[in-house]
Amino acid sequence: EPEVTQTPSHQVTQMGQEVILRCVPISNHLYFYWYRQILGQKVEFLVSFYNNEISEKSEIFDDQFSVERPDGSNFTLKIRSTKLEDSAMYFCAGGTGETYEQYFGPGTRLTVT
Amino acid sequence: RKEVEQDPGPFNVPEGATVAFNCTYSNSASQSFFWYRQDCRKEPKLLMSVYSSGNEDGRFTAQLNRASQYISLLIRDSKLSDSATYLCVGGAGNNRKLIWGLGTSLAVNP
């Protein structure tokens, strides 16, 4: 069964540094998402990506965040200048768009020190 | 009202028990609904979709009441392996973003 993969599984970075989180979605998916989950809190929508552009973003997804799908395979989330409050699990997800069902990668735990 | 609201629990039940979780939603998360399961520090995994007519998958039954904006999940004959957090989720908008409840923690004890 195809799976969404994410790398790295754990990233530790210093405040102010740039990080890139990588995801390889399932090949027949057309809609891609990033969500985050701060420890002990709910999963929060960050951004959706369709047809090679951002289709929707939340208030959390400010100018420090960007996404791209450069080669039709990898889907990346970049945080330009990390803050302590960016520490969270970041989940990539995808779906065909035919339904609302989405399938998640194992997540990247980002720790900002 | 918060978009998707759940009782966080925890629910502690013995093996074999029947347990029910409830969830309420606001209008903004009102197109499709799901129950996801999340194990500690893992990704959410789709458990089942929720339909107005009710749907059943083995020991799990989900129900949606649109008039009351209420969703339920019933687990029968609970197993130790059912211990997890159960997330009530609404799908909204053309981009199909998911709006999440905080989750209800279940511990099934031997």
Contact A48 B97 (CB under 8 A): yes
Q: State the nearest Cα–Cα gap between B12 and chain A, in angstroms.
A: 19
Going by pLDDT thresholds of 50, 70 and 90, the confidence category of residue B41 is confident
Per-residue pLDDT at A20? 97
Residues 44-63 of A with CB under 8 A from B: 44-45, 48, 50, 55-56
Going by pLDDT thresholds of 50, 70 and 90, the confidence category of residue A29 is very high
Decide if pLDDT at B1 tops 60.
Answer: no
| Amino acid identity for residue B68 in this structure | S
Among B34, B95, B103, beta carbon nearest to A48: B95
Do B29 and B4 form a contact (C-beta atoms < 8 A)? yes
pLDDT in tens, B71-102: 999 999 999 999 999 999 998 888 888 999 99
Do B42 and A106 form a contact (C-beta atoms < 8 A)? yes
pLDDT in tens, A77-112: 999 999 999 999 999 999 998 888 899 999 999 999
pLDDT in tens, A34-71: 999 999 999 999 999 999 999 999 999 999 999 999 88
Decide if pLDDT at A31 tops 60.
Answer: yes
**Residue numbers in B near A31 (CB within 8 A):** 95-96
